[in-house]
Amino acid sequence: MTSIPASVVRSPSARLGRALAHGDVPYRLITVAASIVLILLVVSFGLMLWITSAPTRTQFGLQSLISSDWNPSGEIFGSLPFVVGTLLTSLVGLAIALPFSLSIAIFLVELCPPRLRGPVGTMVELLAAIPSVVYGLWGLFAFIPAVVKPLGDFLLKLLGTPTNFIYLPFLSGPFFGTSIFASGVILAIMVVPSITAITRDVLLAVPAAQREASFALGATHSETISKVILPYGMSGILGAIILGLGRALGETMAVTMTVGNVSELPTSLLNPGYTMSSVIANEWGEARSLLHSSALLEIGLMLFATSLLLNVLARLLVWSVSRKNPDQRG
């Protein structure tokens, strides 16, 4: 039996004194307080949007979601064109960004010489650092005239003309340049960095033992990538895509400058449109009536809720990949 020396045993007050002296208590207080403030902030966002959008919610109910009549001077607020515009621009953006992001991520992790991996990865991430208003300017004055307009005209002529053998109504005119298609392409460039970066991290988290197992069975590199590495990281890649979708849904400035801002239900991707974030940005200053500002706040609420949900879902999926490493199981 050995007893603890008396000098080691401290009274509770002495322990508290020591904790204070070494800064444990203040340190804990500061970090906990900061975290609580952040949680309160998110809650108050939702609460504020819910309360301030009450007038339109009570007056129109779900009607505002299925009506495409947006007439502020007539006090009629149907937000369907914006919902549709946001969904279409985001989906076009995602559809274009996805093959690029996957290819870049696979290149960076699997094929790129190690010396180039850092520089190329950084270049991709730098795309995310460009302010979105600069994307808007560049899109409007350089990218749309040089690339989107000719490409759109080509698609219109090839597939969007009713007299053609193949006629796809969602590629019909009129086409002026600024359009859902143009915004989608620019959104694609804007979300490529985030999807690429997360996909790269997900692929890097695939254990080397999985690669080796596949190679040892006589698989080629491309078979290993498509049959082992991508399936292993699939839920994480899905998370990256959803995170990219979340970014595209909320993107405001670049879209407002390139989408055309026409509050009619678009019938074609080449038509100009309007998005939820754009209408808030454009009309906030002139929303004099209670109902008008309430309608904009309701759109804000929908955007907020959607992005929040998508982000939670995406992070759960990304997290599931790093967690399922079989090496850590018994």
Partner 1 sequence: MSETKMSTASNGSTGAQANDVYQKMHAENLSIYYGKFRAVAEVTVPVREKMITAIIGPSGCGKSTLLRSFNRMNDLVAVARVSGKIMLDGLDIYGTDVDVVEVRRRVGMVFQRPNPFPKSIYDNVAYGVKLNNTRIRKGDLDAIVEDSLQGAALWDEVKDKLKQSGTALSGGQQQRLCIARAIATHPDVLLMDEPCAALDPIATVKVEELMQELKKQFTIVIVTHNMQQAARASDYTMMMMMRSDRAGEMIEFDQTKKIFTNPRDKRTEDYVNGRFG
When binding is defined by CB under 8 A, the residue of 90, 210, 271, 294 that contacts partner 1 is 210
Helix intervals (H) in 147-268: 149-159, 180-204, 208-216, 221-224, 230-232, 234-250, 253-258
The rounded distance, in Å, linking the Cα atoms of 274 and 197 is 29
Q: Which is nearer to partner 1, 211 or 292 (CB)?
A: 211
Which residues, at least 6 apart from 117, have a Cβ–Cβ distance to it below 8 Å?
108
Number of amino acids touching partner 1 (CB under 8 A):
24
- The span from the CA of 68 to the CA of 225, in Å, is 46
Residue 115 found at the interface with partner 1 (CB under 8 A): no
Q: How far apart are CA 262 and CA 264, in angstroms?
A: 6
Q: How far is the CB of 312 from partner 1 (least distance, A)?
A: 24
* Minimum distance from residue 229 beta carbon to partner 1 (Å): 10
Using N-to-C axis directions, what is the helix angle for 12-21 and 24-52, rounded to 10°?
A: 70
If one asks whether residue 211 binds partner 1 (CB under 8 A), the answer comes out as yes
Q: What dihedral angle (degrees, nearest 10) is formed by the CA atoms of 300, 239, 87, 162?
A: 170
The alpha carbon dihedral of 303, 305, 311, 317 has a sign of negative
Residue 220 binds partner 1, judged by CB under 8 A = yes
- Which residue's CB is nearer to partner 1, number 96 or number 317? 317
Which CB sits closer to partner 1, 288 or 329? 329
* Residue from the set 32, 126, 207, 315 that interacts with partner 1 by CB under 8 A: 207
Q: Which of residues 273-302 bind partner 1 (CB under 8 A)?
A: none
Identify which of residues 206 and 297 has a Cβ nearer to partner 1 in the complex. 206
209 binds partner 1 (CB under 8 A): yes
Tell me how far, at minimum, the Cβ of 216 lies from partner 1, in Å.
4
- When asked if residue 204 is in the footprint of partner 1 (CB under 8 A), the reply is no
Listed residue (85, 142, 132, 69) closest to 259, CA to CA: 85
The amino acid at residue 146 is A
Nearer to partner 1 among residue 59 and residue 320 (C-beta) = 320
Query: By the criterion CB under 8 A, which residues form the site for partner 1?
Result: 114, 207, 209-220, 223, 227-228, 231-232, 324, 326-327, 329-330
